[in-house]
């Protein structure tokens, strides 16, 4: 996971303020129950359940109580979880954690009953400079919990589960854990792994330690994977990666492929080339989109068109899911086919056309009102031989999608607001600022930023000068806008000011 710097929240709030003059309050705690029945084939169906997740953020943070300030991350995590939930220390166990050099640390814990952990009752605490900035948990009521001593031996359970899962137990030793159930009960379970190398399956099985019944499974083989340029990378020179299940259930509860199931179309986006039906199919079963990018040939040669559609599909969905966490939801006029009764108007996933034949060396985004699909056209760039694909320069499609964000948020979903010269310039500046936030989100301190350098084969990128905290590198001042007549140039000034602390005086 990457940790974003402070630029994006300021820009996002600026867009919201431009629309309403205030920010609609959202509940401090979000709850997302997650449960479904998984069909494993061979007539075997098992429930998959996770208790409701409770998540709270604390703005600038709350001070760590003096009673445990200065302790290690393990003690801090256990103390905070116990105090926050009013639990005895014996009912919380530390799972793991890590510390970053910038003062951030993250601790993970589990709920425990009589020394046995509850597998799906977990908690996480985020610390920043000795303050707690976020806390999440899915701890459960244990009034209906099973006896902690098993009445069925694991050796009698394993053969039945192996048969059901069509595999063999591997060398990992079984453990004993509790598993919270959808009906409020908490079952005691034998936990072990079952694999089938030939079929490529690999499960963690939870079998009731009192009845022997198969209660649930964890599928270690990801249901969806995409070889793409991660959203925090800028261009292919930084390397494509195979990402496993990058969707966020809170933003896309039915996953990214809820519409057709096996191609680059879904509830949030349709990525295609030419006709909207010309999508990329999975490269192998299990929603695996693993196509190899070849930079030595043109964008349309070999598997490169499939790489293009896959990256567009992933990038637009990842953008959707991230922005959803910040409030760009159904009721705030986002882009989704099915809004699941959560407000707004559905029927408007983003339509992203890759290697679009109507232009070169550019890209655009058309934003109609809520209820009509946004259309993003990504073009091929002809500045190099072979040519380069604009959708693989992540900052460009993110810039374009942010036009959809800003035009939907301002004007209450009408897409009519940013039409005069300076307001269109604001939109350009916001788009560059959000692109910078995404593709440099793993860099705590950004001094200079250049957009579009790879596709243009020019280290100066597509703007007249880098965005910079240095007035020598980028001397733009707000007063310069008075002499400008181009929206992109005005946008350069607006994005430049996003680089400065808002408490600073305007030069």
Residues tagged active-site: 400
**Does the annotation list 198 as a binding residue?**
no
Choose among 62, 56, 58: nearest CA to 29.
Answer: 56
**Does the annotation list 428 as a binding residue?**
yes
The DSSP secondary-structure symbol of 263 reads: B
The Cα–Cα gap between 74 and 84 comes to 15
The Cα–Cα gap between 112 and 80 comes to 16
The Cα–Cα gap between 503 and 367 comes to 33
The Cα–Cα gap between 446 and 427 comes to 22
Name the one residue in this structure whose structure tokens are 């290690």.
72
**Does the annotation list 210 as a binding residue?**
no
Contacts of 72 (CB under 8 A, 6+ apart): none
Which residues are paired to 284 by β-bridges? Answer: 288
Choose among 169, 114, 167: nearest CA to 142.
Answer: 114
Rounded to 10 deg, the angle between the 395-409 and 421-439 helix axes is 130
Which H or E element spans position 51? none
Which H or E element spans position 250? none
Choose among 369, 222, 340: nearest CA to 284.
Answer: 222
Residue by residue, DSSP assigns 161-212 as: HHHHHTSEE-SSPPEEEEEE-TTS-EEEEEEEEEEETTTTEEEEEEEETTT-
47: exposed, middle or buried (Cβ count in 10 Å: 0-12, 13-18, 19+)? middle
The DSSP secondary-structure symbol of 506 reads: P
Which residues are paired to 37 by β-bridges? Answer: 47
Provide the token pair at 82.
């116990």
Provide the token pair at 253.
């509860």
Binding residues: 223, 399, 403, 428
Which residue ranges are tagged as binding site for Zn(2+)?
223, 399, 403, 428
């Amino acid at each position: 996971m990457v940790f974003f710097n402070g630029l994006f929240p300021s820009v996002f709030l600026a867009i919201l303020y431009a629309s309403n003059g205030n920010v609609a309050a959202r509940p401090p705690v979000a709850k997302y129950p997650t449960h479904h029945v998984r069909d494993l084939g061979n007539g075997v169906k098992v429930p998959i359940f996770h208790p409701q997740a409770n998540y709270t953020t604390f703005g600038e943070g709350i001070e760590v109580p003096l009673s445990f300030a200065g302790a290690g991350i393990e003690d801090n995590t256990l103390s905070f979880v116990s105090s926050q939930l009013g639990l005895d220390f014996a009912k919380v166990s530390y799972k793991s954690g890590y510390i970053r050099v910038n003062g951030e640390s993250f601790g993970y814990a589990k709920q425990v009953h009589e020394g046995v952990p509850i597998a799906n009752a977990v908690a996480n605490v985020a610390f920043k400079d000795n303050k707690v900035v976020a806390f999440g948990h899915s701890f459960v009521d244990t009034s209906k919990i099973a006896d902690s001593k098993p009445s069925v031996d694991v050796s009698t359970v394993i053969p039945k589960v192996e048969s059901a899962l069509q595999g063999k137990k591997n060398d990992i030793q079984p453990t004993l854990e509790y598993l919270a159930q959808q009906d409020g009960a908490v079952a005691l379970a034998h936990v072990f792994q079952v694999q089938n190398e030939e079929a490529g399956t690999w499960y963690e099985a939870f079998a009731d330690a009192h009845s022997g019944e198969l209660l649930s499974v964890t599928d270690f083989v990801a249901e969806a994977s995409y070889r793409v340029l991660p959203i925090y990378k800028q261009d292919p020179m930084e390397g494509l990666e195979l990402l496993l299940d990058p969707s966020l259930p809170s933003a896309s509860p039915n996953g990214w492929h809820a519409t057709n199931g096996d191609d680059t179309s879904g509830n949030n986006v349709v990525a295609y080339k030419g006709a909207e039906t010309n999508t990329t199919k999975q490269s192998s079963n299990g929603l695996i989109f693993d196509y190899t990018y070849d930079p030595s040939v043109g964008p349309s040669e070999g598997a490169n068109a499939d790489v293009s559609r896959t990256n567009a599909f992933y990038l637009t969905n990842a953008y959707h899911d991230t922005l959803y966490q910040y409030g760009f939801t159904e009721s705030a006029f986002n882009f989704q086919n099915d809004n699941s009764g959560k407000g707004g108007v559905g029927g408007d996933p983003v339509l992203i056309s890759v290697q679009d034949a109507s232009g070169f060396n550019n890209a655009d985004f058309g934003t109609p009102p809520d209820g009509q699909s946004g259309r993003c056209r990504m073009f091929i760039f002809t500045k190099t031989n072979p040519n380069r694909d604009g959708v693989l320069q992540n900052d460009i499609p993110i810039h374009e999608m942010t036009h959809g964000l800003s035009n939907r948020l301002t004007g209450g979903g009408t897409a009519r607001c940013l039409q005069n010269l300076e307001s269109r310039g604001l939109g350009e500046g916001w788009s560059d600022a959000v692109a910078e936030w995404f593709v440099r989100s793993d860099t705590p301190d950004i001094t200079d930023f250049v957009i579009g350098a790879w596709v243009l084969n020019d280290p100066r990128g597509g703007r007249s000068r880098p965005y910079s905290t240095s007035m020598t590198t980028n001397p733009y001042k707000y007063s310069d806008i008075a002499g400008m007549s181009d929206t992109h140039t005005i946008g350069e000034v607006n994005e430049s000011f996003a680089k400065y602390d808002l408490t600073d005086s305007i030069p």
